[in-house]
């Protein structure tokens, strides 16, 4: 069915021509609706679905053919926001809106959406149908989370720089005193054990401070064109022995046609080293650790402005077949000091985030409990 919209553009129409400046603007509403990025859902008085555009299909994972002729309450939970708002609009004849609602996605997970409804009056003037427009907010939420994460890290880093200064001096005094003590106590093994522990722990605190300082201080990046695959091989070599001893097999899936990336070699090696270590740690009973590269297909991260023009991004994925990251932990995973490991500092991912951000890239984690985790790093190419 083609809906036509007729409108006289009058004398302002530049191509006025022979019809005296009058033009017909024909709009096929169905194609407009199907091309909209927002989901549009229409219902009649009985909440029977009469309109379900392409974006509604994508959002809910339910095809228009499947929902046709059924009521909204059969398709969605009867107490869901959308059902409630549309029912109220039909009843009151007034528009309703909610900035922070959720709707069940195709995989059963809640998707954050904003909802606006509007009544549509029939020929007699009474409200016979209502439509709702739903906007998927998950991408916006994801970007907001990125920004917040960056701010938390920057704040933690600033605090660390202040603290580190105060802690380092007493710490080196302690270390010096322990060394003297060791000398004084001579070879007696019993005391030696204690001084050993003291030294080890002091060094551990020192390492934590160094890492925190890395998070806090602005570093001077020295980005140069780098062969990504050589770099990943360096990382793989560093971890090969540890992986082997844990029954972890490293699998490569490289796109050989990728151009060089623009990165600071030492910093980027740090990132992948941390990610590979995490992946190995996640598979205590062994499994596959996959290193994959390709040009980014993620619509959020395809290009970046480096000041000297737009650069394409490549995606480097480090995937494991481990236990995955519990839902409750996911939001905090990039925060410093979040760790589930006995000897973990919880600084690895915080540092990765910081370094990738310095490169104007992005880092993104997908994890399915019981199946595994996949960390994607997006980095700009060199030209």
Among Mg ion, ligand ATP, none, what does residue 264 contact (CB within 5–8 Å per kind)?
none
- Residues 296 and 312: their CA atoms lie apart, in Å, by 8
Q: Where are the alpha helices (DSSP H) in the chain?
A: 29-35, 54-60, 64-67, 72-75, 81-92, 138-185, 189-216, 228-245, 265-281, 327-330, 348-358
Among Mg ion, ligand ATP, none, what does residue 7 contact (CB within 5–8 Å per kind)?
none
Q: Which is nearer to ligand ATP, 22 or 148 (CB)?
A: 148
Q: Which is nearer to Mg ion, 89 or 278 (CB)?
A: 278
In the complex, the residues that contact ligand ATP under the rule CB under 6 A are 274, 278-279, 282, 320, 322, 324-325, 333, 338-341, 344-350, 373
- Residues 80 and 60: their CA atoms lie apart, in Å, by 13
Give just the sign of the alpha carbon dihedral 201, 207, 210, 216: negative
Which of 119, 348, 361, 380 lies at the binding interface for Mg ion (CB under 5 A)? 348
- Residues 364 and 106: their CA atoms lie apart, in Å, by 21
Please state whether beta strands 310-320 and 372-380 pair in parallel, antiparallel, or not at all (unpaired).
Answer: antiparallel
Shortest spacing between CB 277 and Mg ion, in angstroms: 5
Q: Which one-letter DSSP state was computed for residue 342? A: T
Three-class DSSP category at 322: coil
- Residues 112 and 55: their CA atoms lie apart, in Å, by 14
239 in contact with Mg ion (CB under 5 A):
no
Among Mg ion, ligand ATP, none, what does residue 295 contact (CB within 5–8 Å per kind)?
none
CA 340 from chain centre, in angstroms, equals 21
- Residues 96 and 232: their CA atoms lie apart, in Å, by 53
Q: Which is nearer to Mg ion, 39 or 349 (CB)?
A: 349
- Residues 360 and 354: their CA atoms lie apart, in Å, by 10
Please state whether beta strands 248-253 and 287-295 pair in parallel, antiparallel, or not at all (unpaired).
Answer: parallel
Shortest spacing between CB 348 and Mg ion, in angstroms: 3
Shortest spacing between CB 336 and Mg ion, in angstroms: 12
Among Mg ion, ligand ATP, none, what does residue 362 contact (CB within 5–8 Å per kind)?
none
Shortest spacing between CB 291 and ligand ATP, in angstroms: 13
Among Mg ion, ligand ATP, none, what does residue 314 contact (CB within 5–8 Å per kind)?
none
Q: Which is nearer to ligand ATP, 23 or 213 (CB)?
A: 213
Please state whether beta strands 97-104 and 110-121 pair in parallel, antiparallel, or not at all (unpaired).
Answer: antiparallel
Q: Which is nearer to ligand ATP, 130 or 283 (CB)?
A: 283
Three-class DSSP category at 24: coil
Residue 375 phi/psi, 5-degree rounding, is -105, 125
Shortest spacing between CB 275 and Mg ion, in angstroms: 8
Q: Which is nearer to ligand ATP, 41 or 209 (CB)?
A: 209
Number of residues that bind Mg ion (CB under 5 A): 2
Among Mg ion, ligand ATP, none, what does residue 361 contact (CB within 5–8 Å per kind)?
none
Q: Which is nearer to ligand ATP, 138 or 339 (CB)?
A: 339
Using CB under 5 A as the criterion, what x/- string covers residues 246-285 for binding Mg ion?
--------------------------------x-------
- Residues 355 and 339: their CA atoms lie apart, in Å, by 19
Token representation of residue 201: 């722990």
Among Mg ion, ligand ATP, none, what does residue 325 contact (CB within 5–8 Å per kind)?
ligand ATP
Among ligand ATP, Mg ion, none, what does residue 132 contact (CB within 5–8 Å per kind)?
none
Residues binding Mg ion (CB under 5 A): 278, 348
């Amino acid at each position: 069915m083609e809906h036509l919209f007729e409108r006289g553009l009058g004398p302002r129409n530049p191509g006025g021509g022979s019809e005296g400046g009058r033009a017909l603007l024909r709009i096929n509403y169905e194609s407009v609706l199907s091309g909209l990025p927002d989901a549009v859902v229409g219902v009649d008085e009985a909440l029977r679905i009469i309109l379900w555009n392409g974006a509604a299909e994508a959002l809910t994972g339910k095809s228009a053919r499947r929902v046709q002729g059924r009521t909204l309450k059969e398709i969605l939970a009867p107490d869901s926001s959308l059902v409630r708002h549309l029912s109220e609009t039909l009843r009151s004849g007034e528009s309703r809106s909610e900035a922070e609602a959720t709707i069940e996605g195709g995989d059963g997970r809640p998707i954050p959406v904003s909802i606006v409804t509007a009544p549509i009056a029939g020929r007699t003037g009474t409200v016979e149908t209502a439509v709702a427009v739903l906007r998927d907010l998950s991408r916006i939420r994801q970007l907001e989370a990125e920004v917040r994460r960056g701010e938390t890290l920057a704040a933690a880093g600033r605090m660390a720089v202040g603290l580190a200064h105060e802690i380092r001096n007493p710490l080196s005094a302690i270390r010096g005193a322990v060394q003297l003590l060791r000398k004084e106590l001579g070879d007696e093994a019993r005391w030696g054990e204690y001084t050993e522990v003291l030294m080890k722990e002091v060094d551990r605190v020192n390492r934590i401070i160094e890492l925190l300082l890395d998070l806090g201080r602005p570093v001077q990046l020295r980005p140069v064109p780098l062969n990504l695959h050589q770099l990943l091989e360096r990382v793989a070599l560093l971890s090969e022995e540890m992986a082997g001893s844990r029954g972890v097999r490293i699998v490569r899936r490289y796109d050989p046609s990728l151009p060089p990336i623009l990165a600071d070699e030492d910093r980027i090696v740090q990132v992948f080293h941390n990610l590979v270590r995490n992946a190995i740690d996640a598979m205590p009973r062994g499994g596959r650790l996959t290193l994959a590269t390709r040009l980014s297909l993620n619509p959020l991260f395809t290009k970046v402005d480096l000041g000297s023009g737009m650069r394409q991004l490549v995606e480097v994925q480090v995937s494991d077949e481990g236990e995955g990251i519990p839902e409750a932990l996911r939001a905090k995973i990039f925060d410093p000091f979040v760790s589930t490991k006995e000897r973990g500092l919880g600084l690895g991912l915080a540092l990765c985030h910081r370094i990738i951000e310095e490169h104007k890239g992005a880092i993104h984690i997908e994890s399915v409990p019981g199946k595994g985790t996949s960390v994607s790093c997006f980095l700009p190419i060199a030209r």
